[in-house]
Amino acid sequence: MAEKGGIYPPFFNKGGCAMNYKKIFMAVLYVCLFMPLISQNMVMASENIFPEKYINKQNGVTFETNIEVPEKLDFSKIKTGTAKLQYPKSEQAISEIAADIAIVDQDISSIEWKGKTIDISYYTLEDGSTLNLDTILTYTTPFFDDILNVFRVEKTDVFNADNYSQENNFSYISSEDAFQYIVDMINRCGYELGETNYEYYALDAETMQQQEIIADKAGDNSISEPREWNKEDDCYYFFAEQVYEGLPIYYGNQTFPDDGVTNRPVQAVYSSRGVEGLYVNKVYSITESGEKVSLLEFDKLAEKISDKYGNLLTSASYYVNRAKLYYMPVAVGVEDYELRPVWLFEIHEKGIDSETENEYETTLYTFLDAQTGEEVVV
């Protein structure tokens, strides 16, 4: 017979069982308060499904692969898009660059390119600078030629970029302000550059003097007249790439697939005298955003790579050193491109040349669609 007061719930027995109720109450309270935070952290962690390094070996292909993804990339915003190549506008570029300097010589012609007429203009300015305008903008002063003698960033035997700082700022202007000036100048030449990533080297006069002496002693024929470097020659050398939805836009091609700084679409030199060199190529305007996409797991991408190289009829060995996530403009018309998230894989091939019997090592690049895993041709 039930006692007066009704029937107690099964988890709360009359008498000494109040403590059980308190424990359950605290457990429920913990779930209500903290599970949303735990759930949120799980969602945030699951956004980046890629490890910093992928180690595996399959089908004879060795993966010790550094995976390069922007640290704060919001994976939920990755989407396709459409884009168009941008070109310099001649009148605007001349007005911007040669406004206060007389043009002493010019050569203007045109070519047919991809079904359209492209004007090719080459100008020599009174101060010895040159300006070339076609699908690319190239501007150089005589000082820029001297820079090429003492700053070698290409990964060859003459590489010396590691002698220069990538952090220092000069007193006459900060690196940030100098780069912003360059962006504004590019836009005044008819481009819409948009969001960018950039890195730079601070080339100081003392180090440039030292590097010129070293190059001269090494018999570098490019140095005909050594320069006396001074503080006015301190300059920044910038390398920049476009960014869309947090991801860099790939800028290489089938001939030069390397994504190192020497292949960047925007390069510039800025000294206390102003812009000394400017190169703009393969800059895109995003015309439309597409649908959001989900990315394939890295294991499946690695399987695609191992199938490609592991099944080659060769005695060479293949090592996948690096994979970087990009947006790649894939041509869908004369000037129209589709932006797709794509992985660049850097692969080292090592083997013995069948003709010379000498050991060799070469770098290969393969691009996989990040959504489907299919190979993409640049």
CB atoms within 10 A of CB 107: 10
Tens of pLDDT, residue by residue, the chain (378 residues): 433 333 333 333 334 434 443 443 444 334 343 333 322 222 233 356 799 999 999 999 999 999 999 988 999 889 999 999 999 999 999 999 998 899 999 999 998 877 788 889 999 999 999 999 999 999 999 999 999 999 999 988 899 999 999 999 999 999 999 999 999 999 999 999 999 999 999 999 999 999 999 988 888 766 677 889 999 999 999 999 999 989 999 998 878 898 999 999 999 999 999 999 999 999 999 988 888 999 999 999 999 999 999 999 888 999 999 999 999 999 988 788 999 999 999 999 999 988 888 999 999 999 999 999 999 987
CA 326 vs CA 78, 100, 174, 323, 336: distances in Å: 11, 40, 29, 10, 18
Cα three-residue angle 79-80-84, rounded to 5 degrees:
135
Residues 254 and 303 in one domain: no
Distance in Å from the first CA to the final CA of the chain = 84
Residues 305 and 228 in one domain: no
Residues 145 and 95 in one domain: yes
Give 99's contacts (C-beta < 8 A, 6+ positions apart): none
Q: For residue 30, what pLDDT is reported?
A: 40
Which of 314, 277, 283 lies closest to 203 in space, CA to CA? 277
pTM: 0.84
Q: For residue 21, what pLDDT is reported?
A: 37
Tokens 């990009």 found at: 326
Contact 112, 100 (CB under 8 A): no
DSSP 3: P
> Considering the domain boundaries, does residue 376 fall inside one?
no
Residues 32 and 129 in one domain: no
Residues 163 and 258 in one domain: yes
Boundary of a domain, candidates 262, 287, 312:
287
Domain total of the chain: 3
Residue 133 is part of which domain span? 85-287
- Which amino acid makes up residue 234? D
DSSP 22: H
E runs forming strands in the chain: 53-58, 61-68, 79-86, 103-113, 116-125, 130-133, 137-140, 196-203, 235-244, 247-248, 266-271, 274-280, 283-292, 317-331, 336-352, 359-369
CB atoms within 10 A of CB 296: 20
Beta strand pairing call for 317-331 and 283-292: unpaired
Q: Hey, which residues does 375 pair with through a beta bridge?
A: 368
> Considering the domain boundaries, does residue 37 fall inside one?
yes
Residues 101 and 238 in one domain: yes
Q: For residue 47, what pLDDT is reported?
A: 56
DSSP 1: -
Residues 270 and 361 in one domain: no
> Considering the domain boundaries, does residue 2 fall inside one?
no
Residues 221 and 336 in one domain: no
- Give the phi and the psi of residue 243 in degrees, each rounded to 5: -130, 140
CA 278 vs CA 51, 118, 133, 179: distances in Å: 37, 20, 12, 12
Contact 318, 361 (CB under 8 A): no
> Considering the domain boundaries, does residue 4 fall inside one?
no
> Considering the domain boundaries, does residue 5 fall inside one?
no
